[in-house]
Amino acid sequence: MARGRITATALIVIAAAPLVVASWLYYSGFRPSGQTNEGVLLNPIVTDASLNWTVPVRDPRLDDGRFNSWVLVVLDGEAATENLVLSRQVVTALGRESERMSRLYLVDVQPNSSAQQALDLDHPNLAVGTADVASLIATLIANGAPDTLRRNGGLVLADPLGNLVLVYDNNDAGKALLKDFKRLLKASKIG
């Protein structure tokens, strides 16, 4: 009889030990140090509803000024030209998945017609929107984005639901962006 109790107790302890250890690790705040994303994950996520931006309905992937695809947002700054080229190259490199990704260039003031024509020529399928870029960048920095966005601008990934999710500063290479986007589009069923 005592041997049966010892065996039953041992089985219960063996089955419950992983659950107890996992619960303790979770509630103690232990998190793995590794991450798979190359960009900076915003915490908490910023929603586009909380931002005051205007996006013209020029892109077929836009529905009443809202995107129904993943969006790579280029923030205006000193490195805007490089970021526009990088965004075009990364979206093109996605191949057939590029149809699930749109590009948006956010500026403080809508470009004049000659500047808009130059953008259209160099960057087809680029939507240009207006926003208080400095305020947007301040919001992103308050939610974990790197401070380098303030001067140089950067890239922000938004999901089809309007959440700004990942931020990339100008130190992020195109291969890192492409790696993130391919992994994300493979795992995502939305957009």
- Reported as a single tens digit per residue, the pLDDT across 11-60 is 999 999 999 999 998 888 777 766 778 888 888 888 877 777 777 655 55
pTM of the model: 0.77
Mean pLDDT score of the chain, rounded to an integer? 85
Query: Residue 38: its pLDDT value, please?
Result: 80
Say if domain 40-187 classifies as CATH 3.40.50.300. Answer: no
Q: Which of 180, 176, 149 is nearest to 80 (CA)?
A: 149
List all residues 6 or more positions away from 58 whose beta carbon is below 8 Å from its beta carbon: 127, 128
Confidence tier at 84 by pLDDT (50, 70, 90):
very high
Instruction: Sketch the domain layout of the chain as residue ranges.
Output: 1-34, 40-187
